Structure formats: structure tokens, C-alpha cells
Amino acid sequence: MNKVLRKTLKIVWVIGMLVLVVFMLYPFIYSFLGALNNKRDFGNMGTLLPIPKKAEFRNFLYAFSKTGIPPLINTFARTTWYTFWNVLVAIMLGYVMARYEFKGKKLFLIFIICSQVVPSVLTMIPSFVMMSKLPFFGGNNWMGMGGHGLINNPLVLYLPFGWGVLLWVFLFMQSMKSLPKDFEEAAEIDGCNFRLTLTKVVLPMQKPILAVIAANTALGTWNDWFTPFMYINRVKDSTLPAYIGMLATSLQEMSGDRDFPKLFGLSCISIIPPLLIFLFFQKYIIQGIASAGIKG
Amino acid sequence: MVMAGRQERVLTRKQRQSRRAYAVILPFFLYIAIWSLLPLVIGLLLGFTDFNALNGLPKWVGLKNFKTFFGSRDYIDLLIRQMWMGGLCLVANVVLSFLLALALNVKHPLRGFFRTSVYIPNIAAAAITSGVFIALLNPFNGGLNMFFKSLGMDPIIWNYSQFWMVFWIIVFFVWRSVGPAAIIWLGGLQSIDASLYEAAKVDGASKVQQVKYITIPGLRFISAYILLTGLIGVMQMFDVVMLISHGNPYGKTDVLMYRIYRDGVISFNMGMAGAASTVLGLVTVLIAFVAFFIISKGDNNE
């Protein structure tokens, strides 16, 4: 009797979870099917599953058209750039914080922890002001006047580097603390200098945490549609998710062209890289969230 | 002599270390400070100025912007709406993600697949997935209303109803963030020592008692983390509002953060945006502190 009950419970569980999975994935299925239509067919369709009469693949190719290519390249470039810097900074600062003794270390640690709970509202608008008044950029003089600074300037996607990285510094530091110092001391005795000790001894043993940092940063940067959306107007200098953001916010306006299939086609392309990152590095991404939760 | 020599070597090693540490940390710290610390300082000053970022210099106006903020119902209403709409999103997300974590905490070959699936909405940026909701919610030829029609029901004009817009904002918010929260809960559930449950079972504790005396105390830290970070997050939530409802109908789903964005980035009224940012930031910090105090006080009572 108990066995029968247990079995039915398990079946109920599986069915319930499958229903949930369908609900969670439904918007993606809808986007994909929607992208197969053309604009007019889709507009008249009004169903929960927009299955096309005749499938078109034109909408997926928008991402590779003359308008779509520059944002696509920008997104790749920006993701690579920030992933590289975040990993590098996390290693350097995290290593120093874990291994070296120096004055002000505790203060810096407090700074790291505090910086992670500062509400972003306190910096959003001031950052915008600062970018527009940055001296010597975008036609500004040394007072920050006369031009538009980094607004609409592609450099705004690469130059800023805030304290978001300090979370990864912290995690790398924690991970260094669980690694005995003996390895490094042995390497030093064998005549390794600082750089060799780091690259040949420490980093190979820290691969998991490096994967956590790289995967999470890559995912976060790719999906950061808001920064380019806020600072850049021209599609050419923007990123793909930000371009989709422009289209998505114009859906609400009467004057917008409301080309849903085009939007869905771009969305389907733009979700492929993060999906691949997630599927391949799932373990590390989940570990990153969980460890931020447990250690933070 | 020998002692002195050793001491000197220890000292120089220490000095070398701290010099190297500064050489690594300072450049990075200064660069990070430019992009993060400086805006924080500018932000505190901005609220006291009249500043149109398009032309001209900031002009010191004292408390004028703060008087506008607290003097008119507009901003106060937006602040209150930020709190209750954010609060609803947070509560829905915390409760549902906990239930989801309980459901995922079952040994089954399909568990990995389920866990991945519930996480996937979060790996797409909000801007990318909001289009689907807008297409479905179109009152005239949207998928949902046409579906209702085929069932013989009356269509609902979603866009004209505050209730339904708030409802869909919460659905979109929870749909995106329930996965990560569930994963954190799950990590907490699995970090509880299984032998505690065994011991409780031997002592004859019921399932309810096990949850009350083992699960809930064991999850105290995780729940504090989820609540606090969630709280700070929803007090600044506006991308969801911007994408799903644009603050409509008639600004009835508008929130303060969205207004700050529009004041600053669209109408370049930096002084007002700065003042509102300061208020919202301080309210957020205050609420987080109170929540933290309540949680840690509960901890001491145990």
C-alpha cells in the first residue's frame, strides 16, 4: 500500500514538474514559432502557439544583416573584454588579499563587502552625469563642457569598470584561503618568481573558481542590455540585447513599427551564446550563485 | 647578532609584501573608485542643484528639490508604489522559489533537467523575453484574449487595468527570478546535515516537527540572504515595469525608480533625479537595516 502511494506521488511529481517546465519554457517556444512568421501573418494570428502556414527564416537572418552585424560584433567584443578584465582583477586582488599582509587590508575588505550592498539607484543617474561631463572625451574640454562626453560614444561600453568585480575578488580570496600555502612556498624555494608561482602553481589549482568567475561575467555582460540602452542611441554602436531592448520598449508606443517576428528572430539569435555558456558551464554558474549566497 | 639579522630579514620581507600589495591594489582601486565611488559622491551633491545636463553648469539650490519631492503627492505616491509593488514581487518570488526548491529536493533521474529548465528564463535578458508577454497581452488580437474568446469568455483589456498590469509585472518578475532563488534555497536545504533528520526520526519526530526544528533553523542564514538581497533588488526594480507596462494605465503602475530614470536620462532634469535617487537609496538602506535587525534579533532568541 505504502509502495503504491509512493509510486503515485512520484508520478504526480513528475507530471507537475513537466507542467512547470512547459510554463517556464513557453515564452521561448512562442518566440521561436513567432519568428517563423512574417509581420502581417503574425499580426492577424492571435493564438497561443503561432505556428506558421509557411515557415520563413528571414527573421533569424536580421541579426546577420547590415543593421544586425555591428551590434552582434559589439556584444561579443564587450563580453570578451569584461570577462578578461574581471578574471584578471579577481586573480590579482584576490591573491594579494589572501596572501599578503599590509596596512589597510581590513579596511579594504570592509570596502569590498560594503560595495556589494550599495543600492544601484545611488549611482545610476550620477554615473550618467559623470559620463556626459567626462573631461577630454567626446568634444569636452578639461572642465567637461562643450561636448557630450561618453554619451553615444562606443567607448562607454569598454572603459567603465566599477565595483561589481569586487564580488569575484572576494570569492577568489576565499578560494585561495582554502589552498595551503605550502605549494607556493615550495615553488618559491625552487626559484619561481611571483609571476611563475601564480601562473604555474596557483592558477592551475584554482581552475574551478576561475570558471565560476568567467562564466558568470560572460553571462552577465552579454545580458547587460541596460548600459548600452541608456548610453547609446545608435544601433551601430550598441549591443544586440540593447538593440532588442530598443525594439521592445517601442512596442508600447503607437508609432513604433511593432514588428514582432523581427524582434523574436533577433531574440532567438541573441539567446544562443548565453544558452551555450549556461549549458556548458552550468555547474560553475550555479556554484557561483550558491557560493555568493553562502559566503556573502 | 643572529637574532637581529633574522629580525631584519623578517621586516624586509614584510615590507616587500606590503609594497607589492599596494602596487597591485592601488591602481585597480583608483580606477574602480573613479567609476563607482565618484558617482556616489556626485550623487549626494546632485540633489542640491538645479542642473540641466544639456546646457549650463549646475546651480546650487539647497533643499528645493527635496521640498518638491516631499511637497507633492507625485513622488511620494511613486515611492509608496515602488515599495508595495516591489514587496509583492519579492514575497511571491521568495515563497514560490522555496516551494520550487522543496519540489526539486527529490531524488529522481529527471531532477537535473528540471533544475536547468527553471533556470533558463534567467539567462535571457529581460528585454529579450518581454516581447512575448506584450504580444500575448495585446487586448485585441493578442494570444491570450483570442484564446479566451475561443473558450467563449469575454476578452480582458489588460492595459487599462492596474490590477492586471501589476499581476503581469509580478508574473514576469517571478518567471525570471524564481530559478536562481530556488537554486540558493536548494543549496541551503542540501547543506543541512542529513543525520539530523535521521536522529529526529529515531526520536519519533513528525514531519512537521522536523521542518520546524531542523529545516527552518538550518535555513536562517540563507533566508536572510535571499530576503536582504531581494529587498535591495526590488526597491530599484523598474526594467520590468518599463518593459511590460510603461507605467500605464495612466501612471498607475509607475514606480519611483522609473521616474528617476525618466527625469534624468530622458528629460535631463539631473537635480530632481539626483534628489529622488538619494531619497530612494536612503529608504532602501533603512529598510534593509530594519530587516537585518529583525532577522538577527530572531537569531539571538533561538
Task: Tell me the per-residue pLDDT of B73-100, one tens digit each, with 9 for 90 and over.
Answer: 889 999 999 999 999 999 999 999 999 9
- Spatial separation of the C-alpha atoms in residues B216 and A70, rounded to whole Å: 51
Mean pLDDT of B25-36: 91
Q: Which residues of A touch B236 (CB under 8 A)?
A: 119-121
Q: Do B131 and A20 touch (CB under 8 A)?
A: no
Of B31, B144, B235, the CB nearest to A119: B235
Average pLDDT, chain B: 86
- Is the pLDDT confidence value at B109 over 80? yes
Q: Which residues of B touch A229 (CB under 8 A)?
A: 127
Task: Tell me the per-residue pLDDT of A181-217, one tens digit each, with 9 for 90 and over.
Answer: 888 888 888 888 878 888 888 898 888 899 999 999 9
Domains of chain B, by residue range, sit at: 2-46, 60-301
CB B51 within 8 A of CB B270: yes
Task: Tell me the per-residue pLDDT of A21-52, one tens digit each, with 9 for 90 and over.
Answer: 999 999 999 999 988 888 877 777 778 888 88
pLDDT bin (cut points 50, 70, 90) of residue A218 is very high
pLDDT value, residue A37? 85
- The counts of H helices and E strands in chain B are 14, 2
Mean pLDDT of A254-272: 85
At residue B101, what are phi and psi to the nearest 5 degrees? -65, -40
- Spatial separation of the C-alpha atoms in residues B148 and B168, rounded to whole Å: 17
Q: Which residues of A touch B125 (CB under 8 A)?
A: 222-225, 241, 244-245, 270
For residue A194, the number of C-alpha atoms closer than 13 Å in the C-beta half-sphere is: 11
- Is the pLDDT confidence value at B194 over 90? no
ipTM for this model: 0.90
Q: Which residues of A touch B17 (CB under 8 A)?
A: 100-102
Nearest CA in chain A to B57: A145
Contacts of B13 (CB under 8 A, 6+ apart): none
pLDDT value, residue B2? 47
CB B62 within 8 A of CB B76: no
CATH topology classification for A67-295? MetI-like fold (1.10.3720)
Mean pLDDT of B52-70: 82
Mean pLDDT of A121-127: 90
Residue B52: strand pairing partners: B269
Of B37, B128, B141, the CB nearest to A241: B128
Q: Do A121 and B285 touch (CB under 8 A)?
A: no
Q: Do B136 and A48 touch (CB under 8 A)?
A: yes
pLDDT value, residue A76? 95
CA B285 to chain A, closest CA, distance in angstroms equals: 8
B60-301 CATH choice from 3.40.50.300, 1.10.3720.10, 1.10.1740.10, 1.10.1370.40: 1.10.3720.10
Domains of chain A, by residue range, sit at: 1-56, 67-295
- Is the pLDDT confidence value at B154 over 60? yes
- Spatial separation of the C-alpha atoms in residues A143 and A55, rounded to whole Å: 57
Q: Do B116 and A282 touch (CB under 8 A)?
A: yes
Of B40, B130, B281, the CB nearest to A248: B130
pLDDT bin (cut points 50, 70, 90) of residue B168 is very high
Nearest CA in chain A to B131: A248
- Spatial separation of the C-alpha atoms in residues B291 and B263, rounded to whole Å: 30
- Is the pLDDT confidence value at A222 over 90? yes
* B175 close contact with A: CB closer than 8 A: yes
Q: Which residues of A touch B127 (CB under 8 A)?
A: 225-226, 229, 241-242, 244-245, 248-249
- Spatial separation of the C-alpha atoms in residues B128 and A28, rounded to whole Å: 10
At residue B89, what are phi and psi to the nearest 5 degrees? -60, -45
Q: Which three cell numbers stand for residue B257?
A: 525608480
- Spatial separation of the C-alpha atoms in residues A287 and A274, rounded to whole Å: 17
CA B167 to chain A, closest CA, distance in angstroms equals: 16
Task: Tell me the per-residue pLDDT of A159-181, one tens digit each, with 9 for 90 and over.
Answer: 999 888 999 999 999 889 888 88
Collapsed DSSP state (helix, strand, coil) of residue B59:
strand
CB B263 within 8 A of CB B273: yes
Collapsed DSSP state (helix, strand, coil) of residue B52:
strand
* B30 close contact with A: CB closer than 8 A: no
Contacts of B208 (CB under 8 A, 6+ apart): none
pLDDT bin (cut points 50, 70, 90) of residue B145 is confident
CB A33 within 8 A of CB A49: yes
At residue B293, what are phi and psi to the nearest 5 degrees? -65, -45
Alpha helices in A152-206 (DSSP H): 166-177, 182-189, 194-196, 203-205
Collapsed DSSP state (helix, strand, coil) of residue B50:
strand
Nearest CA in chain B to A44: B141
| CA atoms A263, A267, A268, A269: torsion sign | positive
Q: Which three cell numbers stand for residue A141?
A: 574640454
Q: Do B46 and A129 touch (CB under 8 A)?
A: yes
State the best of B132, B174, B177, B184 to mutate against chain A, taking most chain A CBs within 10 Å: B132
- Spatial separation of the C-alpha atoms in residues A28 and A6, rounded to whole Å: 34
**Element at B187 (helix H, strand E):** helix B162-191
- Spatial separation of the C-alpha atoms in residues A269 and B172, rounded to whole Å: 21
For residue A76, the number of C-alpha atoms closer than 13 Å in the C-beta half-sphere is: 8
